[in-house]
Structure 1
């Protein structure tokens, strides 16, 4: 059966991440497809094309700007060994202090199309995140491609029950058979849960080898998994 090694990672653009170190981590984990959040492009705090620098020569990058920041853009990005097809960016109609987006593209795995989503939900309230999940779920439900994967920093930091906003049929890498991983490694007195990053897949995809590498390059940990078709 075809397999794909994937990950989600919030790289904390405001902390001046090291793109070469991130690329090495992706390479060491033998990742094929990665959803990344908090990415800068040509800002004053990170005055270069961060997606291109992280991609290097090993990966292809697709960037989705969410808001203008410090003379450039701030948003999310997908990285892939082979180019993603038909990549589109979508702003949520509900958002807090910052506009938020999700990406969608198609990745071919041994001739099988995989519908790929990447997002970063708002941090303010569970109600706001629930509204954003509803928008995202509607897009995924309308998607004609049956195999789907969703990467994200979902900021579900008040209760693990927030994950119930999603269709219970979706399988979770974080909070699944392997238990919960506290992927946010900072400390915030307002947070009740630190398991805020996740990879969700449709029931026709198996999740295995879920792990959080010990390498610390951000205030989040990379969450990796193997998808089996």
Structure 2
């Protein structure tokens, strides 16, 4: 006669427990995962927040197997995930600062750049950083943003629009063509160094795996520019084609603080716009205090815009 007691062992229960321990170790040691083979470490870190799905899956398997050992083991990945991302589950937005920025990869294939420009202008941001600006679409942005943003950089591909005067505008050489720009924004609260950047694209292919070398090199050059920045208040924003958890971007992300982590609600995923699963568009700061961070509604681009309200 079967008693129906909860099992404490069993082969499958031990396998589930082992899988739970492995999941926890991968989360806890993600920064040590090697990139020697197809950059799998960076690929894993890109989707690191989604590793939390292993917890309900393993718990369901432990319940089906009626294994107390497996159920207890699932606590390990649960604790590991909460230690990494528990703070992202709370709403840390706390009002409005005195300097608001928006960054948006507007998508060179955007079918309606004028509508996108109007949506960005409606945000009321002090500074707009726009990436993937095509020469064909540029006149539409210039026309729609002229009234609210009288100051702009004349760089190609990546551009800044500002309500406040821009000085010391210069391209930052992170790639052979212009993919980053730096300017001093003369705000009523004093000067702020603002960088807009679009790091190199990445691809996932069966032959090469996760190709990130050009992006990582660009991140290193951007980091060198930020380290050499003489102004104490710095905002770096743009399309990083990588997440804040990707340790290969640490040369630049390690110098700055994420506005989303400090003052956002949730993960603030930005790509793809139709169903965002990763945050590859960043607003990073130094010498200023993030008050709120959020994503704006879709504009016709394949990215969502990101915004942050800062206290100077």
Coarse TM-score class (shorter-chain normalised): 0.7 to 0.9
Partner of 2:182: 104
- 1:184 equivalent in alignment to 2:271: yes
Matched, 1:195 2:279: yes
Offset of residue 201 of structure 1? 0.6
Which of 27, 31, 38 is the matching residue for 2:132? 38
Q: Secondary structure at the match of 1:23?
A: helix
Cα deviation for residue 136 of structure 1 reads: 0.9
State the 1:14 CA deviation.
1.5
Among 127, 132, 149, the alignment partner of 2:235 is 149
Match of 1:122 among 200, 205, 209: 200
Classify 1:31/1:101 alpha carbon distance in 2 versus 1 (closer, same or farther; 3 Å): same
Shift of 1:102: 1.0
Q: TM-score, normalised by structure 2?
A: 0.59
Residues of 1 paired with 2:97 and 2:116: CA distance?
A: 26
Between 1:154-163 and 1:210-219, the stretch displaced more is 154-163
Long gaps (5+) in structure 1? 66-74
Q: Distance in 1 between matches of 2:97 and 2:260?
A: 22
Check conservation: 1:122, 1:129, Cα contact below 8 A. Answer: yes
Deviation of residue 38 (structure 1)? 0.9
Pair 174,130 (structure 1): closer, same or farther in 2 beyond 3 Å? farther
Q: Distance in 2 between matches of 1:175 and 1:127?
A: 26
TM-score, normalised relative to structure 1: 0.79
How much has 1:130 moved relative to structure 2? Answer: 1.9
Instruction: Indicate the residue corresponding to 2:300 in structure 1.
Output: 217
1:153-172 correspondence runs (5 A): 153-156=239-242, 160-172=246-258
1:55 aligned to which of 145, 158, 161: 145
Match of 1:208? Answer: 291
Q: Higher helix proportion, which one?
A: 2
Q: Secondary structure at the match of 1:15?
A: coil
Q: 1:177 deviation in Å?
A: 4.7
Structure 2 unaligned spans of 5+: 1-95, 203-210
| 1:4 aligned partner | 99
Does structure 2 retain, via aligned residues, the 8 Å contact 1:2–1:110? no
CA RMSD of aligned residues (A): 2.7
Rg larger for: 2
Residue by residue over 1:37-62, the C-alpha shift from the partner in whole angstroms, topping out at 9 and shown as x without a partner, is 01122x3xx4x624412423111322
Per mean C-alpha deviation after superposition, the further-off stretch among 146-155 and 117-126 is 117-126
Aligned partner of residue 155 in structure 2, secondary structure: strand
Which has the higher mean CA deviation after the structures are superposed, 103-112 or 149-158? Answer: 149-158
Is the 2:192–2:233 Cα contact (8 Å) retained in structure 1? yes
